[in-house]
Chain A
Amino acid sequence: MISVKNISKFFDGLKALDGVTFDVERGESCAIIGPSGCGKSTLLLIMAGILEPSEGEVRVDGRKVNTPLRNAALILQDFGLFPWKTVYDNVALGLRLRGVDRETERKKVKELLKKFGLLGFEKAYPKQLSGGMKQRVAIARAIAIEPQILLMDEPLSSLDALSREEMQNFLLNLWKETGTTMVLVTHSIEEAVFLGKKIIVLTERPGRVKAVVENNEVGDESYRQEEVFFERCKLLRRIIKATL
């Protein structure tokens, strides 16, 4: 379980987060939504143990987080891939840092590249890929290390509508199959409702928790077509627009 307790963050005088508190159960999926600049990326970095909060603490399974989480993978907004590494080396990096042997590494990476339709691009550099392909590489790299916690910062933002739905389905199935705890930052209301069993709505900067929306119906690709889904989207839109 990830437990975010009363997190505040200052950047020399600027308050980015203000007393953010919420829990994510083990194996649960959680979407974080909020206006641009409200501290979502900062919050994710704090949860991953990479940034230190100014106040408050994050606990994972009861243990206070103060170094980068070992069992978590983080997909960052724009700097996920290393431009100086090929697609293969990018995907393999996490495995290599963990000292996995080359044979296992090759098998694993090939399997992932195949799964993401990236075979044949092993030797390409990120700048030769489309935005969507880059994001697929970033996701492949994150799940290569089979993390128990997957933290994602707008991982699907540069995909076209159809491949976006495809990747949403992929993440949904990944979540169901592996029981990974997922935290997803998104700007899209539909995406939050489709993927987040729990949806955290943040206020404008400094980010505070405006509402926590339970969304227990998630779990099936067909959810997108259901009445509840549309109702939930409407509700979420209302909450986001509401001034406190």
Chain B
Amino acid sequence: MQTPETNYKGYFVTLLSLLLLWGVASYIISNPALPNPVDVLALMLSRRELLSHTAVSLLRVIYSLALALSLAFPAGIFSREKVVDTAVSPIIYLLYPIPHIVLLPLYILIFGIGDLSRVLLIATILFFQIAVTTRDAAKQVSEYYVYSILSLGASKFDVYRHVIIPAVMPKIMTALRISIGTAIAVLFFAESFATTSGLGYLIIDSWSRADYKMMYAAITTMALLGFILYVIVESVERRVCRWL
């Protein structure tokens, strides 16, 4: 297995190469639509408004993740229980394949143009991703593990605490990592429409104003946001799934 240190070195080298590539490309093309990375980075460090838009976006993503996880985790886990499964499975199976992204106009109508409708949109999409993965993982936990702990005198609560939850943890962490990518993508969409805050808004706004440096600064920040969240989930995973 790779140690975290070599990992970070790898990230760093890749990042530098990307920046270099970007710089060379912008030099060759020499078109304002592809500004040079040094200017963009300088802008990122100097403009305060970028920070406040980032904070808004970050909060939206975190609220959505928390909301989705807190509903999808129990819904997925308890699908092992027949009662829950007969109630939850049809809902998941009917609604999962629908493109939830089209719900944005509807959510805005119902919940207003504030943060709520955007958080709910992201959370809806993440809910299905996490719930489906968790449900499948929970169902795959071997009955024999359950038998084993029942024979030690476990209650139903113990079965979940000592067997089902730890057993599905790796799958949940994978689902979370995938969710981060989805969350950022949906965030861009949710913020590009009827709002004046967030990185998505900033990208669209600077694009329409032909402020390409700002547009690139916002895009880079959004990428960075996704990357940092990903790294956080990964380090939580290492901690939680030490046994793997």
Verify A68–B144 contact, CB threshold 8 A.
no
Given contacts A82-B163, A93-B162, contact A98 B153 (CB under 8 A): yes
**Considering only CB atoms, which chain A residue lies closest to B145 in the complex?**
A79
| Min C-beta distance of A74 to chain B, whole Å | 4
Q: Which residue in B150, B152, B169 is a CB contact (below 8 Å) of A84?
A: B169
Asked if A80 lies at the interface with its beta carbon under 8 angstroms from chain B, I say yes
Verify B151–A50 contact, CB threshold 8 A.
yes
**How far apart sit A97 and B161, CA to CA, in the bound complex (Å)?**
11
| Min C-beta distance of A94 to chain B, whole Å | 4
Verify A74–B166 contact, CB threshold 8 A.
no
**Considering only CB atoms, which chain A residue lies closest to B242 in the complex?**
A125
Asked if A85 lies at the interface with its beta carbon under 8 angstroms from chain B, I say yes
Residues of B within 8 A of A72 (CB): 151
| Min C-beta distance of B76 to chain A, whole Å | 18
Verify B162–A94 contact, CB threshold 8 A.
no
Verify A84–B147 contact, CB threshold 8 A.
no
Verify B151–A85 contact, CB threshold 8 A.
no
Residues of B within 8 A of A64 (CB): none
Given contacts A76-B144, A76-B148, A125-B243, contact A82 B162 (CB under 8 A): yes
Q: Which residue in B142, B144, B151, B163 is a CB contact (below 8 Å) of A73?
A: B151
Give the size range of A's interface with the partner.
20 to 34
| Min C-beta distance of A240 to chain B, whole Å | 26
Asked if A70 lies at the interface with its beta carbon under 8 angstroms from chain B, I say yes
Residues of B within 8 A of A177 (CB): none
Beta-carbon contacts under 8 Å, B120-163 to A:
142, 144-145, 147-155, 158, 162-163
Verify A82–B166 contact, CB threshold 8 A.
yes
Residues of A within 8 A of B155 (CB): 97
Residues of A within 8 A of B144 (CB): 76-79
Asked if B167 lies at the interface with its beta carbon under 8 angstroms from chain A, I say yes
| Min C-beta distance of B158 to chain A, whole Å | 6
Residues of A within 8 A of B162 (CB): 82, 85, 93
| Min C-beta distance of A220 to chain B, whole Å | 30
Verify B148–A84 contact, CB threshold 8 A.
no
Give the size range of B's interface with the partner.
20 to 34
Residues of A within 8 A of B150 (CB): 50, 68
Q: Chain A: interface secondary structure? A: loop
Given contacts A80-B148, A84-B167, contact A97 B243 (CB under 8 A): no
Verify B152–A94 contact, CB threshold 8 A.
yes
| Min C-beta distance of A140 to chain B, whole Å | 13
Verify A79–B152 contact, CB threshold 8 A.
no
**Considering only CB atoms, which chain A residue lies closest to B152 in the complex?**
A94
**Considering only CB atoms, which chain A residue lies closest to B158 in the complex?**
A97
Residues of A within 8 A of B163 (CB): 82
**Considering only CB atoms, which chain A residue lies closest to B165 in the complex?**
A84
**How far apart sit A68 and B175, CA to CA, in the bound complex (Å)?**
35
Residues of A within 8 A of B158 (CB): 97
Verify B243–A83 contact, CB threshold 8 A.
yes
| Min C-beta distance of A166 to chain B, whole Å | 24
**How far apart sit A85 and B244, CA to CA, in the bound complex (Å)?**
11
Q: Which residue in B142, B154, B169 is a CB contact (below 8 Å) of A79?
A: B142
Given contacts A76-B144, A79-B144, contact A84 B151 (CB under 8 A): no
| Interface positions of B (Cβ within 8 A of A) | 142, 144-145, 147-155, 158, 162-163, 166-167, 169, 241-243
A-B contact list, 19 entries, CB within 8 Å:
A48-B147, A50-B147, A68-B153, A69-B151, A72-B151, A74-B148, A74-B151, A78-B144, A79-B148, A82-B145, A82-B148, A82-B166, A84-B243, A85-B166, A94-B153, A97-B155, A98-B153, A125-B243, A141-B152
In the A-B complex, the 10 residue pairs with the smallest Cβ-Cβ separation, listed nearest first, are: A79-B144, A74-B151, A84-B166, A94-B152, A125-B243, A84-B243, A68-B150, A50-B147, A97-B153, A76-B148
